[in-house]
Structure 1
Amino acid sequence: MTPALVHHQHRTVLPAAEGAVRARDWAEIQERMLAPLCEAVYERLETGPGSRVLGLGCGSGLALLLAAQRGADVCGVDGDGALLELAAERLRTGPGSPEDGACPWTARLCEGSPREAVTADAPPTLVTAFGTLPTAGELSLVTAALPRGTPVVLTGWGPVERCAAAPALRVATRLAEPAGRHPGWCGRDDLEELAVRCGLRLEGSGRVACPFGYAGMESAVRGLLSTGLYDEAVRATDEEQVLKELVEALHPYLLADGTVWMPNLFRYVVARA
């Protein structure tokens, strides 16, 4: 199975130049895995009518859509134009949209600096980072413009031993730089340290089960590659090697019906400006 998958897939799922393909894979396969995390945060912060949610690293907009469906106004920021195009499409045509395609909620998308998304006339009542964590510099620019008391939520992986996706992510680390840490992995206190460094006051935290479930091995490979975490490994070795080792890492989670199922635990930290 591995040679066939590598032969047919390595030209279509890996090249960074194919941004539209990768963005679509993220939107259609991978992003939905984080829906339980988004919903748990929105429930805890009582997100609904009257809320104004600013999503940092909003990707293709699923988290924004979930907030909008609760009645919130939403604003998303991301540096990837292809993902923002999908976010705009999703917010225009989400469940409940009228037939003419008009958006039934207030939504705004910004490409570039997250600071530009904070407006004085209607500042966010909740800031979230469900995708890639912002740098301390980026987050500080945002938090400096927030009214005092505004909640900011940072999210990341839970303990490695509670995440079945860890072996698959370890492939990227091992092939890119053997001494490195899991790509995108947060240490035990990384979220809290980032919040404090940016002048935020810690309020609480939580853990949420976010299993990664895929229709098949091809879907699993495309979904994980859409994260961009394997780009360095591809540059350090080659596409075929990365695909071969990724499939091998996923094989223990391949079920008898052909689906791939990996239980994972994510965590979030709530802080206040």
Structure 2
Amino acid sequence: MASAQVTGTTVQRPHAGGGAGSRGRARDWAEIQERMLVPLYQAVHQRLEVGPATSLLGLGCRSGLALLLAAERGAQVAGSESEAELRELAEGRRLRVSGAEGIDRPGTPVARSAYSLVTVFEELAYVGEPARLVAEAAALTLQGGHVVLAGWGPPERCESASVLDVARRRSGRVPACDPFALSAPGALEGLCAGVGLRAAGSGRVSCPFAYPDLDSAVRGMLSTGLYEVAIEEWGPALVTKELEEALHPFVQRDASVRMANVFRYVVAEQPH
């Protein structure tokens, strides 16, 4: 069994319950949306030759698919996730993932103090202080080890940008998280440099979002958690209606939905 226990991880997502944290949408994330990012996970694992010699920590690992793929390559994996429902789903994949507050759990192995690879695949889109999260990732990385940060590519390269804009337009008095806040050239690299990490490469990965029908597309997008402020402000019915309208241009002749997207990642090294 892959096991995980992390201490000292304190970064919390700013949105309150619901989203990927509600029981229904957490399962939608695990069953519908998470697989859309498999090309990103696989590209990073292949580039860094993740395998039996790798000790990997996923910060904000959600329901743990990236960890599961790394474990299948032989890596020793650990994770942290603030949403309880997502942690439960990760445990259903035989992964033990701690809460973001680092709660100790009886029966789990002693936590490592540092890892050869720390990944932040999704969490940067949710935190109000990304520099704090990156500093935490750096502090948990062994000397000579690597930190990987990932996020959306430029909005003009992402067809889902117009669909995500529903969250911004309906955010009301509380600004919604901007998934493209760190998509500008040099933004991720700047976060790494700010905590003393040394640039070691970057890449772009095509991650098309493909769904069998419009209902699955709506459920998948809602499961990202980026629409929580809009739902709290306007209710799920209105947000769902606007999502359906925004998704309409991407409905194919067979009623499936497909959006081309690009995600970007950077690799940084913890100096000796």
TM > 0.5 between the two?
yes
The verdict on how the C-alpha distance between 1:64 and 1:175 changes in structure 2, with shifts beyond 3 A counting, is same
Pick aligned residue for 1:119 from 112, 125, 142: 112
Q: CA deviation at 1:141?
A: 2.9
In the alignment, structure 2 segments of 5+ residues that lack a partner are 1-16, 105-109
Pick aligned residue for 1:110 from 79, 94, 98: 98
Q: CA deviation at 1:227?
A: 0.9
Q: CA deviation at 1:169?
A: 0.2
**Aligned residues: percent identity?**
48
Tell me, yes or no, if structure 1 residue 251 matches structure 2 residue 248. Answer: yes
Q: CA deviation at 1:177?
A: 4.8
The C-alpha deviation readout for 1:28-55, integer Å capped at 9, x for no partner, is 0000000000000000000011211111
Structure-2 residue corresponding to 1:208: 205
Q: CA deviation at 1:240?
A: 2.2
Aligned CA RMSD, in angstroms, stands at: 2.4
Pick aligned residue for 1:70 from 53, 69, 73: 73
User: What CA distance in whole angstroms lies between the structure 1 residues aligned with 2:45 and 2:25?
Assistant: 28
User: Larger Rg: 1 or 2?
Assistant: 1
Pick aligned residue for 1:191 from 170, 188, 192: 188
The C-alpha deviation readout for 1:5-63, integer Å capped at 9, x for no partner, is xxxxxxxxxx8288111110000000000000000000000001121111111000100
User: What CA distance in whole angstroms lies between the structure 2 residues aligned with 1:231 and 1:204?
Assistant: 34
2:141–2:147 Cα contact (<8 Å) kept = no
Structure-2 residue corresponding to 1:16: 18
Q: CA deviation at 1:143?
A: 1.6
The verdict on how the C-alpha distance between 1:181 and 1:238 changes in structure 2, with shifts beyond 3 A counting, is closer
User: What CA distance in whole angstroms lies between the structure 2 residues aligned with 1:271 and 1:205?
Assistant: 9
Q: CA deviation at 1:190?
A: 2.3
Letter in 2 for 1:128: T
2:151–2:183 Cα contact (<8 Å) kept = no
1:50–1:72 Cα contact (<8 Å) kept = yes
Tell me, yes or no, if structure 1 residue 42 matches structure 2 residue 33. Answer: no
The verdict on how the C-alpha distance between 1:156 and 1:115 changes in structure 2, with shifts beyond 3 A counting, is farther
User: What CA distance in whole angstroms lies between the structure 1 residues aligned with 2:256 and 2:183?
Assistant: 30
User: What CA distance in whole angstroms lies between the structure 1 residues aligned with 2:87 and 2:140?
Assistant: 23
User: What CA distance in whole angstroms lies between the structure 1 residues aligned with 2:214 and 2:64?
Assistant: 25
2:55–2:117 Cα contact (<8 Å) kept = yes
Q: What TM-score, normalized by structure 1, do the two folds share?
A: 0.82
Letter in 1 for 2:81: D
The verdict on how the C-alpha distance between 1:65 and 1:198 changes in structure 2, with shifts beyond 3 A counting, is same
SS for the counterpart of 1:54 is strand
Structure-2 residue corresponding to 1:176: 171
The C-alpha deviation readout for 1:224-267, integer Å capped at 9, x for no partner, is 00111111112232322211111011001001111100010000
Which of structure 1's runs of 4+ aligned residues deviate more than 6 A?
Answer: 114-118, 178-182
Pick aligned residue for 1:153 from 148, 151, 176: 148
Structure-2 residue corresponding to 1:81: 84
User: What CA distance in whole angstroms lies between the structure 1 residues aligned with 2:162 and 2:145?
Assistant: 37
Q: What TM-score, normalized by structure 2, do the two folds share?
A: 0.82
User: What CA distance in whole angstroms lies between the structure 1 residues aligned with 2:165 and 2:73?
Assistant: 37
The verdict on how the C-alpha distance between 1:124 and 1:108 changes in structure 2, with shifts beyond 3 A counting, is farther
